[in-house]
Amino acid sequence: MHSAATSAPRPRRFTAAGPLTGRIRVPGDKSISHRSIMLGALAVGRTRVTGLLEGEDVMSTAAAMRAMGASIERLPDGASGPEWVIDGVGVGSLLQPKQALDMGNSGTSTRLLMGLVASHAITATFIGDASLSKRPMGRVIEPLSQMGADFTAAPSGNGGGRLPLTLRGIAPAVPISYRLPVASAQVKSAVLLAGLNTPGITTVIEPVPTRDHSERMLKGFGAQLSVDVAPDGTRTIQLVGEAELRPQTIEVPGDPSSAAFFVVAALLVPGSDLVIENVGLNPTRAALFGVLRDMGGQIEELDRRNVGGEPVADLRVRHSALTGIAVDPAVVPSMVDEFPVLFVAAALASGRTLTTGLEELRVKESDRIAVMRAALELAGATVTETADGLIIDGTGAEPLPGTPEGAAVSTHLDHRIAMSMAVAGLASRSGVEVDDTRPIATSFPVFEALLARASRAEADGAA
């Protein structure tokens, strides 16, 4: 069950601590973890996964795949940590779930699973928490309806293509060629996953590249998938349907989106020199690190290698003086989840940081433009909100004042707001009070423990 749905809010004040030092490892990549479970559940035979993110969002995916027939189990810790074993049912053999699928806070679970259900002859109702129930599902309803699936909103629901929704899938579904109207890996993946059990060729045309984990992993599981890149960068992805997936052994690399909070914290806190091991650096995900380097951040890649078909390195991050920049909107899809913490870096930089092209941030777990504007202002930063971004005038390394006595940042059930403002607290005079830390467990359950460890490492003499 999702902690934010079942317990009382857990406020916390994050205050300046010692420098971040030593070596840490962040949990597995959320996007890859979701897909490991989904594809494992559709393969015939046993898939083994190490490094799986054991966050609430991924557990929502696991519970849903179990409800549709897969067996998914966590084996006790082995040499490389816990191993998850997934016995799949095979493409085309998902079972009708007996109860509504509770997606908790997870947009990725919802949209990708809608793709899977759409081309099976089963009916599933999707429900979620208050944050998820506000998020637009029209973007997947549109292509999946073209494939023949049928969506009905609950009479008591929010309407306008929002949860709760009941989806009646169809087999055989109709293969489509779909040009993405928004740069969204979730929409792309929903169509491709629906295409797995659809006769013929399903095509997705992607004018702006988004994270490509689905393409890499579908190929890894043995699906016939091709990607053509036109001279203008448009990608055409074609998948041959009625695929047979072969079980895989997967090692999930560390999540760059989780590493991001520690990278920014180490850049901001004087004296920090931190190594974050095993960080996924897929180019469709890693743009934040380039932007921070352009701002003057010292971020070194050590031991670049391949883990589970993804580029990975250890990142050594040292405290740095940052300078504001205008962020090129072309990089937005490759760091779409990292803007909240980039805003925190910008608030401590010298000069102005200008971000544009961030409309998609308004439909994440919260409206991340408005919510971060309010949060940073409460902590004493100088921020201006525009229709598609924030303009931030940084302090030039002076700590932020912090949130006033009796006031707390509103996180709106958004894990990345909570973690970003925790990082702001480390770089503040009086600390930053966050109204609720429970949402952190959706993507990064060990965040607070790791933060305590990294800031204590020096005092303890640990390297």
Provide the minimum distance between the beta carbon of 187 and ligand S3P in the complex, in angstroms, as a whole number.
6
185 contacts ligand S3P (rule: CB under 6 A): yes
Minimum distance from residue 447 beta carbon to ligand S3P (Å)? 16
Rg (CA), the chain: 21
Whole-angstrom distance, CA of residue 117 vs CA of residue 149: 9
31 is in an annotated binding site: yes
Distance in angstroms (rounded) separating the CA atoms of residues 39 and 349: 42
Q: Is 162 annotated as a binding residue?
A: no
| Comparison of 114 and 268: residue with beta carbon closer to ligand S3P | 114
| 134 near ligand S3P (CB under 6 A) | no
DSSP letters for 69-88:
T-EEEEEEEETTEEEEEEEE
* Of residues 47 and 108, the one with the C-beta less far from ligand S3P: 108
Instruction: Enumerate residues 141-160 that contact ligand S3P by CB under 6 A.
Output: none
Residue 337 among the catalytic residues: yes
Catalytic residue among 212, 255, 337, 414: 337
Which member of 33, 47, 109, 189 binds ligand S3P (CB under 6 A)? 189
Give the residue from 302, 300, 295 showing the smallest Cα distance to 320. Answer: 295
CB-based contacts of 110: which residues, under 8 Å, 6+ apart? 103, 126, 128, 132, 137, 163
Cα 42 to the center of its chain, rounded Å? 22
**Residue 366 near ligand S3P by CB under 6 A:** no
3-state secondary structure 15-35: CCCCCCEEEEECCECHHHHHH
By CB under 6 A, is residue 336 in contact with ligand S3P?
A: yes
Using rule CB under 6 A, residue 109 touches ligand S3P: no
Q: Output DSSP code: residue 61.
A: H
Confirm whether residue 368 is marked as ligand binding. Answer: yes
Nearest to ligand S3P of 41, 322 (CB atom): 41
Q: Please check whether residue 273 is in contact with residue 265, taking contact to mean a CB–CB distance below 8 angstroms.
A: no
Does 131 bind ligand S3P (CB under 6 A)? Our answer is no
At residue 433, the 3 state secondary structure works out as: strand
Stretch that binds ligand S3P, among 160-168, 184-192, 284-292, 449-457 (CB under 6 A): 184-192
Active-site residue set: 337
Q: Which residues bind ligand S3P (CB under 6 A)?
A: 31, 108, 184-186, 189, 211, 336-337, 360
